[in-house]
Structure 1
Amino acid sequence: MAIQVTSTALPEVKIVEPTVFGDTRGFFFESFNLREFHENVARGFEFVQDNHSRSTRGVLRGLHYQIQHPQGKLVRVVSGQVFDVAVDLRISSPLFGKWTGTMLSADNHRQLWIPPGFAHGFIVISQEAEFVYKTTDFWFPEYERSLLWCDPEVDIDWPIEFEPVLAPKDAAGKLLYEAECFP
């Protein structure tokens, strides 16, 4: 098996760690294999879009989700380090409103699978980070929503001691009790 998969506190959200082959020349790893993904992470999903962002230290992106055309995301960092978070927004889930987070970095090669029905966001811990991710549906800006990053009900333990840099849409994110959620 080329990947090791670990469930998080939200069992559908998975940490995916590839086997990395390294020597004095550098390293090689398979960053995605559909067969491995379906057998070990989640069945029935196909990716339709790849995205790439670069951000500086302290930038917090999220917590984003699409209320219609919900997206599953397979995310990773190719430069730098981020703290990555998923929040369960499925009202029918016993874990509704709960979150999980993990450090993703270019050094640890970890990926995080966030299925549809979850909000997603990250904060850049390093001086700069490049973040890439695959999505299971296209971006529809009219359906994009933001859950407020500092909602006291969700109570994410962000590993920062400063105010993050936010986009206006993220600063105006909704609290959980007022957010549109999934059934």
Structure 2
Amino acid sequence: MVFEALPLAGAFRVSPEPHADERGFFARTACVEDFAALGLTGAFAQSSISFNARRGTVRGLHFSVEPHAETKLVRCTAGAIHDVIVDLRPGSATYLQAFGAELSAANRQALYVPAGFAHGFQALSDGAEVLYMIDRPYVAGSARGLRWNDPALRVAWPEPVTLIAERDLAYPDWER
């Protein structure tokens, strides 16, 4: 795997290194030892998928608070998404900065999202499916969110929004 540090402290783009032959290829997408070598969480206790029927669908921005803050490895396994992360750690040099990248079944890249970040995405294709590897089981009482179009975050969504959950529409702007 290739780890590329992103502009937000502690976040990485993770790309597989395919070993190809006449059958196709094989590649690791997660290895606890590779993550640990960089001081990252690499043991994932839960995996989940999100299927998104319509292009333009936005999910997020979601996060969990301590002591249940989650580290995630996010990969698009069908179609394509514009994945967005926002650093919500008050002591961080990249506090309240956002980063977005295209994840797709074709590019096979993933984003490593540290605890203390908000996460969301927009489907760039009909039928986009997203796989989440999460370091701890979900605790509903710790789930929070902020508004997908909070002006302070300046997230540039690449497509018109076609669908968003009422819950996500109701989230407040981030309180500084």
Using the size of structure 2 for normalisation, the TM-score is 0.92
SS in 2 for 1:107: coil
Code of the residue aligned with 1:168 in structure 2: it is E
* Aligned amino acid, residue 49 of structure 1: Q
Between the aligned residues of both structures, percent identity stands at 33
Q: 1:43 aligns with which of 40, 45, 48?
A: 40
Note the C-alpha offset of 1:45.
4.9
Give the secondary-structure state (helix, strand or coil) at the position aligned to 2:164: coil
**Which residue is 1:132 aligned to?**
131
Shift of 1:21: 3.1
Write the deviation string for residues 99-157 of structure 1: whole angstroms up to 9, x where unpaired: 11111011111010000000001110012211101111211112111111100010101
Alignment of 1:1-183 (within 5 A): 3-23=1-21, 25-40=23-38, 42-56=39-53, 57-68=55-66, 69-160=68-159, 162-177=160-175
Query: In the aligned structure 2, how far is the partner of 1:142 from the partner of 1:44?
Result: 23
Match of 1:181 in 2: none
Q: d(CA) in 2 for partners of 1:21 and 1:147?
A: 40
TM-score, structure 1 length as denominator? 0.89
Which runs of no fewer than 5 residues in structure 2 stay unpaired? none
Distance 1:43 1:9 in 2: 16
- Structure 1: gaps of 5 or more residues: 179-183
Contact between 2:9 and 2:93, CA under 8 Å: does it hold in 1? no
